[in-house]
């Protein structure tokens, strides 16, 4: 009977490990789900496939994304990156302040006045 319990524990642990994805994997999978909806190969190749990656996004690359990517693509990426979850507490704890906190809330989509956040 102890062996059966041991096997159940191992299988449960393996199952949880397989189902659990890290944030970057979730981000990429979410962006992939938007590809068929865009009907724009350039938007998919130049924006979603290139920038839906937390290892690629930075303060510098976000300016490129905002300049080159269509608003609907940026909105989709933002939705995927945030998981539509309010990250305000985490952002505040990590030094994000002022108008930039609007990006952490994920309540109303992507804030439309981008330049306010870079000044």
Q: What is the mean pLDDT of residues 68-79?
A: 82
Closest-CA residue to 23 (of 90, 118, 70, 75)? 90
pLDDT confidence of residue 113: 66
Provide CB contacts within 8 A for 12, sequence distance 6+.
none
- Neighbouring residues of 42: CB distance < 8 A, sequence distance ≥ 6: none
- The per-residue pLDDT for range 44-70, each reduced to its tens digit, is 777 888 888 988 887 678 778 888 888
Pair of tokens at residue 109: 């989509």
């Amino acid at each position: 009977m102890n062996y059966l319990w041991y096997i159940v524990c191992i299988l449960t642990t393996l199952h949880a490990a397989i189902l659990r994805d890290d944030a970057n994997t979730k981000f990429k999978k979410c962006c992939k789900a938007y590809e068929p909806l865009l009907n724009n190969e350039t938007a998919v190749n130049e924006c979603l496939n290139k920038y839906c990656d937390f290892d690629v996004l930075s303060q510098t690359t976000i300016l490129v994304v905002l300049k080159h990517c269509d608003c609907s693509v940026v909105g989709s990426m933002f939705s995927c990156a945030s998981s539509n979850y309010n990250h305000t507490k985490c952002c505040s704890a990590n030094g994000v302040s002022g108008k930039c906190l609007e990006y952490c809330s994920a309540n109303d989509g992507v804030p439309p006045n981008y330049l306010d956040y870079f000044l």
